[in-house]
Amino acid sequence: MAIAIGGYNSMNRWTDGLNIPAEENGNFFKKEGTEDLSRFDTPTSAKYAEAKSLVAPLAKANGAPLDRPKRDSVEDIKIALKAAATRQPTLPLAGSAPDTWKAAVNPAWVKLLATFTKSGKARYDGVMACQTKGNLSPKLRAAIAWVAAREDRALYALDAAAKRLKELGLSEKEIYDLDGAATALEPGDRKALALVKKLTISPAVVADSDVESLRNAAGGPFSDKQVAEIVHHVCNASFFNRLTEAANLPVGQ
């Protein structure tokens, strides 16, 4: 379920963010089956019916990204990251990835996907491709992962992205500054992060003007292929954030 939900959140950012036309009907997705769909009519328990999300948008304002609850301060994040280093996974992890995966290391997220030797391999390949391949700079790729994790309150992913950024020469201050001026990045890359935030928070409000701003970005411009790649990185982050937090993976492992 966690993998499926992460995948659908990823797809939403691609289809809504790029305004992909909807299917005329659902026949393309329809499968023959005998499932009893009435079981999905069970009312939500009081515990969750009244719960307030930490990441769900609260209100819409003139096509701008929907506002989410106020994010944690930098100090609160550091405290949360430290606490999350000792948390216990809620889902089982494999001892290591199969040799066919050619995984140089086996962090917790790899061990999680390795419990599904076939479907997990495709997800593993996708995550690794986002980290190591593409037409965007390694710094921008890692910055996209960090910003998306920050918006999603995904601690495991935030720590993983921060490690990538540190390896690329960014200081801790410069990393947290990606929330603000992002002076460690080129002007065009800073412009890209605006689209990243919007896609992460509410892909449905992304407009043609957001894409056009990257085509004309100072320090850019970004080609349509590169814009599509930015969207793809956000899609990948959306999946990764949800999977790793749902599994309660220990930060740093």
> Residue 216 belongs to a domain with what CATH number?
1.20.1290.10
Contacts of 74 (CB under 8 A, 6+ apart): 176
In a domain, 144, yes or no: yes
Number of domains in the chain: 1
Alpha carbon dihedral 204, 205, 206, 212, in 10-degree steps, equals 150
Residue 85 burial (C-beta neighbours within 10 Å; 0-12, 13-18, 19+): middle
In a domain, 97, yes or no: no
Residue type, 93: L
pLDDT at site 64: 57
pLDDT tens by residue, 23-75: 777 676 666 766 676 777 788 888 888 887 777 766 655 655 556 677 789 99
SS3 59: strand
Of 9-13, 58-62, 229-233, the range with the lowest mean pLDDT is 58-62
Largest distance between two CA atoms of the chain: 56
128 vs 18, which has greater pLDDT?
128
Do 2 and 246 meet the contact criterion of CB atoms below 8 Å apart?
A: yes
Written as six digits, the tokens of 16 are 């809504």
pLDDT at site 183: 92
In a domain, 154, yes or no: yes
Do 57 and 67 meet the contact criterion of CB atoms below 8 Å apart?
A: yes
Range(s) of the domain holding residue 133: 1-17+74-86+104-253
